[in-house]
């Protein structure tokens, strides 16, 4: 029966099946749509993704649990479709159902496709790299267009999924770019900014080269058409996305998808709202749409069918596209129960799936605070990590105050915030929580729940932030600050996260929020690799160090407390700590890390021993830069030193 207009949303029927959307076979196609408040639901078949000829229009049959269905006993492959609901005696707009898996141009109509026919050769054998533990991951965040658009990329498929995985591409200086660069750098996973179908780009006019990060979802279960070579044929974007994933996997790199289930790009006219008005969104007390996303609406993950949609969407991306992990935008808008259900469902498919998100909202929400998947509630999440804005802003300065310097730029008062990040937001007896910038207590129950980072696509790049906050510093000093920041990230506990291009001092010409800035601002200028090749090699060395030494990748809070000891320093701008003995089974007996955020060289007391220096702020060499026996270590201004005592096995 139809749901009356005044029915509370928590009394709407819940569909328990797993076959919403299109189920295609060559001899029959069945469509199922959840629209319990509709009095009539029609499906319309077209010969094109926009315009074109209406081939057929039929009323669907009301089934149990709010579902409408219809079966066409013929091969509809290649045809396009849309649904139209009559609700409260009013015909709504034609839309695609939320479960659509293929769409035509601009995602306005679904397309009937045979998904098996979109699989590249050998797809059934494709698998991402296996992770021992989440802290083994070193994540590299990029946007599809950014990697290839610049003329220096040497990439032919500019701005496309295929461009990300072209082999052997070179810059004008004959240095590797794109996939080859990413593989040489040594990261374990690429994090793709939203690559599902979003609404802000007109796929009909790729020549306009308009840009958007993609945080305005339209069709959650479909790749973005502007990143494909043909956005009109829904099969092309699917096949090319799979080819991209497969190539990354063939090169030992996992693929993480940035997902934005917290809001949609449209509100009243979204496919959610045109089929089930109001249900998928939260409302204020006066009935208006609430807006914790600061984008016009927020979805209601705590309602059964939105929760079901999120869980099944993640499972679909994993099964159909072999995705290895997910980053959840504004995760604090979602409720804890939904996130834990989603985590369990994802791990049933891939036990080592990587899950993390932003543990905050962009505004207030009607969802009770205690139910929100916030950073402060991370310990209640299962197998999900949150970004540490504590260490981010501790290192580089307040993210929304461009001129504010951080620990790396010599600012005092941030030492405890950085130390808190070093122990991956866990409880440690040597942290003064009253002096931590954003957290007065530990919020992670283990290091696997913290994503350690200093920059991402949001706000200024690390290099731009340093130049704005410390303009009086020399170029050499600014570069030293940059290296120091990335040293702190890659030697801290937790899951390491790097913004693409930070290894070559990526700049966006000082633009803070580049979500719709032109490619000239957002694209990676590969000539910077040759200009700052020493920085690239330094970061490459840090990644090699982290991957080879499990002391930097401890797996539980007790292990961190037992094996990480902060050494006393007399300066607010200096942090020193020791890892060991043989932390997390590391072959090195003890490891010393010293971070000097001062403009002066510092001499730091360390336990007397025979040491090998492996990093001095300018170079990283695992076989050692020099050996010495001492109880003190000299550390240059704005730099880091890493050293170790005798090993129990052969050196690398």
Give the whole-angstrom CA distance, residue 246 versus residue 249. 5
Q: Could you tell me what percent of the chain has a pLDDT over 90? A: 97
Locate 483 and state its tokens.
Answer: 């290296």
Task: Indicate whether 6 pLDDT > 90.
Answer: no
Task: Indicate whether 649 pLDDT > 80.
Answer: no
Give the whole-angstrom CA distance, residue 354 versus residue 255. 10
Task: Indicate whether 392 pLDDT > 50.
Answer: yes
Q: What is the pLDDT of residue 218?
A: 98
Q: At what angle do helices 178-185 and 533-548 cross, to 10 degrees?
A: 50
Q: What is the pLDDT of residue 105?
A: 98
Work out the pLDDT band at 390, boundaries 50, 70, 90: very high
Per residue in 92-103, pLDDT tens? Answer: 999 999 999 999
Per residue in 17-45, pLDDT tens? Answer: 999 999 999 999 999 999 999 999 999 99
Task: Indicate whether 630 pLDDT > 90.
Answer: no
Q: What is the pLDDT of residue 206?
A: 82
63 burial level (CB within 10 Å; 0-12, 13-18, 19+): middle
Give the whole-angstrom CA distance, residue 107 versus residue 196. 11
Per residue in 170-193, pLDDT tens? Answer: 999 999 999 999 999 999 999 999
Work out the pLDDT band at 647, boundaries 50, 70, 90: low
Report the chain's mean pLDDT, rounded to a whole number. Answer: 97
Contacts 24+ apart (CB under 8 A), 114-120: 114/24, 114/26, 114/77, 115/24, 115/238, 115/320, 117/235, 118/235, 118/238, 118/239, 118/242, 119/239, 119/242, 120/239, 120/242, 120/243, 120/246
Q: What is the pLDDT of residue 44?
A: 98
Work out the pLDDT band at 650, boundaries 50, 70, 90: very low
Q: What is the pLDDT of residue 651?
A: 39
| pTM to 2 decimal places | 0.97
Work out the pLDDT band at 208, boundaries 50, 70, 90: confident
Work out the pLDDT band at 570, boundaries 50, 70, 90: confident
Q: What are the chain's domains? A: 9-118 (2.60.40.10), 135-551 (3.20.20.80), 564-644 (2.60.40.1180)
Q: How large is the average pLDDT for residues 116-131?
A: 97
C-alpha closest to that of 383 among 331, 338, 347: 347
Task: Indicate whether 474 pLDDT > 60.
Answer: yes
Work out the pLDDT band at 612, boundaries 50, 70, 90: very high
Per residue in 400-418, pLDDT tens? Answer: 999 999 999 999 999 999 9
Q: Write the DSSP string, 507-553.
A: --TT-S--TT--HHHHS--THHHHHTHHHHHHHHHHHHHHHH-GGGS
Per residue in 243-269, pLDDT tens? Answer: 999 999 999 999 999 999 999 999 999
Are 132 and 144 in contact by the 8 Å Cβ rule? The answer is no
Preceding peptide of 581 cis, ω within 30°: yes
Task: Indicate whether 648 pLDDT > 60.
Answer: no
Q: What is the pLDDT of residue 2?
A: 81
Task: Indicate whether 5 pLDDT > 80.
Answer: no
Are 72 and 28 in contact by the 8 Å Cβ rule? The answer is yes
Give the whole-angstrom CA distance, residue 457 versus residue 329. 12
Give the Å distances, CA to CA, from 266 to 81, 199, 216, 217, 371.
Answer: 20, 8, 8, 8, 26
Catalytic machinery residues: 329, 358
Locate 448 and state its tokens.
Answer: 């696997």
Q: What is the pLDDT of residue 1?
A: 72
Q: How large is the average pLDDT for residues 546-559?
A: 98
Going by DSSP bridges, is the β-strand pair 354-357/325-328 parallel, antiparallel, or unpaired?
parallel
Q: At what angle do helices 389-396 and 462-469 cross, to 10 degrees?
A: 40
């Amino acid at each position: 029966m139809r749901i009356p207009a005044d029915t509370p949303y928590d009394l709407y029927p819940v569909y328990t099946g797993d076959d919403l959307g299109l189920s295609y076979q060559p001899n029959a196609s069945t469509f199922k749509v959840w629209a319990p408040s509709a009095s009539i639901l029609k499906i319309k078949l077209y010969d094109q993704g926009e315009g074109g000829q209406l081939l057929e229009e039929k009323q669907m049959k009301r089934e149990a649990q709010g579902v409408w269905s219809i079966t066409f006993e013929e091969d509809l492959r290649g045809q396009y479709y849309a649904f139209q609901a009559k609700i409260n005696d009013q015909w709504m707009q034609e839309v695609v159902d939320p479960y659509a898996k293929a769409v035509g141009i601009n995602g306005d109509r679904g397309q009937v496709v045979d998904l098996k026919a979109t699989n590249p050769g050998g797809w059934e054998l494709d698998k991402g790299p296996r992770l021992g533990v989440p802290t083994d991951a070193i994540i590299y965040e990029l946007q599809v267009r950014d990697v290839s658009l610049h003329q220096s990329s040497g990439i032919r498929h500019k701005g496309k999924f295929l461009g990300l995985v072209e082999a052997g591409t070179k810059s004008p200086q004959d240095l590797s770019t794109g996939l080859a660069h990413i593989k040489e750098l040594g990261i374990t996973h690429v994090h793709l900014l939203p690559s599902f179908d979003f609404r802000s780009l007109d796929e009909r006019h790729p020549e306009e080269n308009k840009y958007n990060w993609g945080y305005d979802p339209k069709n959650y279960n479909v790749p973005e058409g502007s990143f494909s070579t043909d956005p009109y044929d829904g099969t092309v974007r699917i096949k090319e996305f799979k080819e991209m994933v497969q190539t990354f996997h063939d090169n030992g790199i996992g693929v993480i998808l940035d997902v934005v289930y917290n809001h949609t790009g449209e509100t009243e006219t979204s496919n959610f709202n045109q089929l089930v008005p109001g249900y998928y969104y939260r409302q204020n007390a006066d009935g208006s749409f609430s807006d914790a996303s600061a984008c016009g609406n927020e979805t209601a993950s705590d309602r059964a069918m939105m929760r079901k949609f999120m869980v099944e969407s993640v499972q679909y991306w994993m099964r159909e596209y072999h995705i290895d992990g997910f980053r959840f935008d504004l995760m604090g808008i979602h409720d804890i129960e939904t996130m834990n259900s989603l985590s369990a469902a994802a791990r049933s498919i891939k036990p080592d799936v990587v899950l993390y998100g932003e543990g905050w909202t962009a505004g207030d929400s009607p969802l009770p605070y205690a139910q929100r998947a916030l950073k402060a509630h991370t310990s209640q999440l299962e197998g999900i990590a949150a970004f540490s804005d504590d260490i981010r802003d501790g290192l580089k300065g307040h993210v929304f105050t461009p001129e504010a310097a951080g620990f790396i730029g010599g600012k005092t008062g941030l030492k405890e915030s950085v130390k808190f990040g070093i122990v991956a937001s866990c409880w440690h007896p040597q942290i003064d929580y009253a002096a931590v910038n954003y957290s007065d207590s530990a919020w992670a129950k283990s290091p696997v729940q913290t994503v350690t980072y200093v920059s991402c696509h949001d706000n200024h790049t690390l290099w731009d932030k340093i130049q704005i906050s410390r303009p009086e510093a020399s170029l050499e000093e600014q570069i030293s600050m940059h290296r120091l920041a990335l040293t702190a990230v890659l030697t801290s506990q937790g899951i390491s996260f790097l913004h693409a291009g930070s290894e070559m001092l990526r700049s966006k010409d000082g633009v803070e929020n580049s979500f719709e800035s032109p490619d000239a601002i957002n694209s990676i200028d590969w000539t910077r690799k040759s200009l700052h090749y020493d920085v690239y090699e330094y970061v490459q060395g840090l990644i090699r160090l982290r991957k080879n030494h499990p002391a930097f990748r401890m797996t539980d809070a007790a292990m961190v407390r037992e094996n990480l000891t902060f050494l006393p320093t007399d300066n607010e701008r200096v942090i020193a700590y020791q890892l060991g003995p043989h932390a997390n089974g590391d072959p090195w007996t003890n490891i010393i890390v010293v971070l000097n955020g001062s403009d002066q060289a510092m001499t730091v007391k360390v336990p007397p021993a025979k040491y090998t220096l492996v990093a001095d702020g300018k170079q990283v060499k695992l076989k050692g830069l020099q050996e010495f026996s001492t109880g003190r270590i000299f550390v240059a201004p704005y730099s880091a030193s890493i050293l170790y005592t005798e090993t129990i096995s052969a050196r690398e």
